A and B are shown apart, each in its own frame.
Chain A
C-alpha cells in the first residue's frame, strides 16, 4: 500500500468535515473520491497535501507515518495536487507556470529557454502537448488544466490529487485528460480523482471511495459497481429518472438575428448568429468553450454590445439596451461563472439573493428587508442550500450551494425567458437532480430557456433543440430526437452535420 490515511477526523469549530475517515491508495492506481457537495472530499485532500492539519488520525506513506506541515513537505514526499480552483499565474507563460518553485537557472538568472525546453520535453513524455511560450491567461481551460498536471509532474509527484479536474472541460478535453491520466497511471503514477461526474469515474477509476457527511460509506472496485449504486451511496436514497414530456411550443420569446461581435482579434468572436427560442422549449447550445458562447450570452443579457445584429425579447427590440431594460422585458440569467458574475463574495446570502428582485422588494426606494429575508429563506429551504444562516457571506458557501442559490434566485424571476449557462457546474448529483427538475418544470409552464452547457449529457437530457457553436457561428442544429453525442461532437470540432 503506497498511502494510508487512517481514522482522519477534521473539525472546524462545530462542523466536522471529516469523521474517522480511512482511505488508501495503491501504486499505479486511479482511486476516485466521490460524494455530495460539502461531503468532505476537498478537506481530506487538503490534509493530505499539508494545507490543513487533521484534528486526529494518521497518514502513512509507504508504511511510515508522516506529517506534513506545509504543501512543500507534501511535494517533497512526492504528493502533488491539482486544486479544484486553478492555482495558476495568468500573466505568466505556460513554461513559467510549470517550472515555478524549481526554476532552471544560470547563476541568479532565470533560464526561460531551459524552462521552455524542459516543458516541451515533459509534455512530449506524458503526451500532453502545450505551447510553452503562450500566456496561461490566453490558453483554453483544457490547456490550463494540462498545465496544472504538468506542473505537478514537473515537481516529481508520484501521487497526484485531482480535485474536480473535469468540471469545466469540454467533452473532447475530458477525453484527452482521462486518456492522459490512464497513460500516466500505466507509467506508475497514482491518482486520487475527485469528481461529481460518475460516468467518467466509471470510465477510469480502479477503486472508488464514497464520502457522505464527512464519513466513508464505502470503498468499492469500479468493476463491481455502477452509477446507480454510487449515487445511492452518496445521497443515501434512490434518484428518480426524470422523464421529459413532449414540448408544447408557444410564441417566439427570443429572436436574435445576425449577432456579430468583432473584438480585437482578427476573427470575430461572434459571427452572424441568429437563433430563436419559443415558449415551452429548451434550446441547448453545445460547443467547445471559447467558440462564442460566452459572448452570445453576454450580448443577449445586455452585458456586451453587439457590433451588428438585433435582439428581440417578448416582442420588444432590446438590441443594445441596458441590462435593466432587458431584465424588465423578461430575462432571467443563470451566469456561466458564478464567482465572476453571479455573486458578490463579501455580501451575505440574503443580499446575493435579492439581486434583480429589488423592484418588488422595495417601496419608494426603501428596501423591505424583512420581506427579502423571508423570500430568500424560502429558497434556501426549497433548494436545500447548505448555509450557516442568511447572514453567511457568499464566500463561505461551497460552490454547489452557491449555485443552488443563484438558480433559485433566477427561477424566482418568473420571467418568460431564462438563460441557463452551466447550471450544474460543480454541483453534486442530488442538487443536479433538483436543478434539472426545476428547469424542466419551468419549460412545462411555457418558459423559454436557452441552455448552454459544456456537459453534453446535460444538453442531451434537457434540450428540445440543440444548436452547436463553432468559431463564433452556429455550426448546426439538431432536434432532440436526432441528436447523439457523436453527431454533436463532430459539429463541435468543426465538422459538417451529418443528419
Chain B
C-alpha cells in the first residue's frame, strides 16, 4: 500500500486535475447562466493548440497564454453567438464545436507547422514551475504541493476568485439571477444576453488556460486530439459539483486523484481495462452521495407554476 499512496501520487493527481478543473469551472459558469456547454472538449483543444502556436510565434510564455486565451475567446464567441443570438440548440452547438475544433486544429497543424499528428520541438519552453518557498521544505507536503506549473496554483486561486465573484459581488449576483429566472431578470432591466455572453467568454478564457496547461504545463507539445476526453470529464465534474466552484473543485479533485490512482493500480494484478475504469466507477459511486434534485423539482422549475 505504501507504493500506492506516496508523494508522487498526490503530486500527479494535482497535475491531472488542473486542466479538468479549469475547464469544469468554465462549464460551471456557463451552466449558471443556463447554457449547458458540451463544447468544453473543443474549447480546451483550441486552447492547447493555440498555446503552442503562440509559443512558436512569440517564444514568450506570457504571450502564448494570451494568444491561447484570445483564440478560445474567439471560439467561445462563436458558441455564444450561435446559441444565444441564433437560438440554436446549445447541445448541438457544443457537439458541432467539438468536431470543428478537432478538424480545425488538425488542419492548422498541417497548414502552420506542416506536420501531421503532433508538433514537438525539444527546445520549446513550457510553463515555468514554481517552487513555493516554505512549503517546498516540508517533507511530504513539499513534494505534493511544490514544483508545479503556475497554472496549477492559478487554478486554485481561480476557484476562490470565482467563488467570491459568484456569491459576494453584485455582478456575480446578477449572473446567478440571469440564470435562475431570465424572464424576471430581463423584466428588471438586467442585460441577460450580455451576461450570458460574458459567461461564455469567461468559460472560453478558462478553457484556454486549461488547454495551455495541457500543452505547455503537463507536457510541452501538441498532439492531435490531445484533450482525450478530458472535456467530457470536466462536464461531469461541472454537474457533479453542481456548478458551484468549490463543488466543482471537489469533483475534479476526486477525478484527478482517481485517475492517478488508477495508473498505480495497473501494477496490482488487475487487468488494465479495469484499472482504467476506476475513475468512472468511483465517480458513479460518489454520485450516491450527491443526489440529484429529482424529477419532481426539475419539473416544478421548468413547468413554472402559475403561482
Direct contact between A and B judged by beta carbons closer than 8 A: yes
User: B-contacting residues of A (Cβ < 8 Å)?
Assistant: 51, 70-72, 75, 81, 83, 85-92, 96, 100-101, 103, 105, 108-110, 141, 144, 167-168, 337-340, 345, 399, 425-426
- In the complex, whether B188 has a CB less than 8 A from a CB of chain A is yes
Name the residue of chain A whose CB is nearest to the CB of B171: A108
Given contacts A89-B181, A92-B180, 8 further A-B contacts (CB under 8 A): A87-B187, A100-B185, A109-B168, A109-B169, A141-B307, A144-B307, A338-B306, A345-B303
Check B306 against A340 for contact (C-beta < 8 Å).
yes
Check B304 against A100 for contact (C-beta < 8 Å).
no
Check A87 against B181 for contact (C-beta < 8 Å).
yes
Q: Of residues 163 to 197 in B, which have CB atoms within 8 Å of A's CB atoms?
A: 168-174, 176-177, 180-181, 183-190
Question: What are 10 inter-chain pairs, A to B, with CB distance below 8 A?
Answer: A71-B189, A72-B189, A100-B173, A100-B185, A100-B188, A100-B190, A101-B188, A340-B303, A345-B303, A426-B306
User: A-contacting residues of B (Cβ < 8 Å)?
Assistant: 168-174, 176-177, 180-181, 183-190, 299-300, 303-307
| A residues less than 8 Å from B304 (CB atoms) | 85, 339-340
| A residues less than 8 Å from B299 (CB atoms) | 340
Check B300 against A340 for contact (C-beta < 8 Å).
yes
Q: How far is the CB of A56 from chain B (nearest CB, A)?
A: 24
CA distance A94 to B17 in the complex (A): 38
| B residues less than 8 Å from A141 (CB atoms) | 307
Q: How far is the CB of A452 from chain B (nearest CB, A)?
A: 16
| A residues less than 8 Å from B303 (CB atoms) | 339-340, 345
- With contacts A71-B188, A87-B184 taken as known, whether A109 is within 8 angstroms of B307 at the C-beta atoms is no
Q: How far is the CB of B282 from chain A (nearest CB, A)?
A: 29
Name the residue of chain A whose CB is nearest to the CB of B306: A339
Q: How far is the CB of B184 from chain A (nearest CB, A)?
A: 4
Q: How far is the CB of B247 from chain A (nearest CB, A)?
A: 15
| B residues less than 8 Å from A340 (CB atoms) | 299-300, 303-306
CA distance A426 to B168 in the complex (A): 39
| B residues less than 8 Å from A89 (CB atoms) | 177, 180-181, 184
| A residues less than 8 Å from B185 (CB atoms) | 100
| A residues less than 8 Å from B174 (CB atoms) | 100
Check B168 against A110 for contact (C-beta < 8 Å).
yes
Name the residue of chain A whose CB is nearest to the CB of B173: A110
Check B305 against A337 for contact (C-beta < 8 Å).
yes
| B residues less than 8 Å from A109 (CB atoms) | 168-170
Choose among A75, A92, A425, A426 the residue that contacts B189 (Cβ–Cβ < 8 A): A75
CA distance A290 to B174 in the complex (A): 30
| B residues less than 8 Å from A85 (CB atoms) | 304, 306-307
Q: How far is the CB of B62 from chain A (nearest CB, A)?
A: 26
- Most B CB contacts (10 A, CB to CB) among A83, A92, A340 go to A340
Check B173 against A337 for contact (C-beta < 8 Å).
no
| A residues less than 8 Å from B170 (CB atoms) | 103, 105, 108-110
CA distance A168 to B187 in the complex (A): 22
Check A100 against B177 for contact (C-beta < 8 Å).
yes
CA distance A100 to B177 in the complex (A): 8
CA distance A110 to B177 in the complex (A): 13
Check B181 against A88 for contact (C-beta < 8 Å).
yes
CA distance A92 to B184 in the complex (A): 13
Q: How far is the CB of A170 from chain B (nearest CB, A)?
A: 13
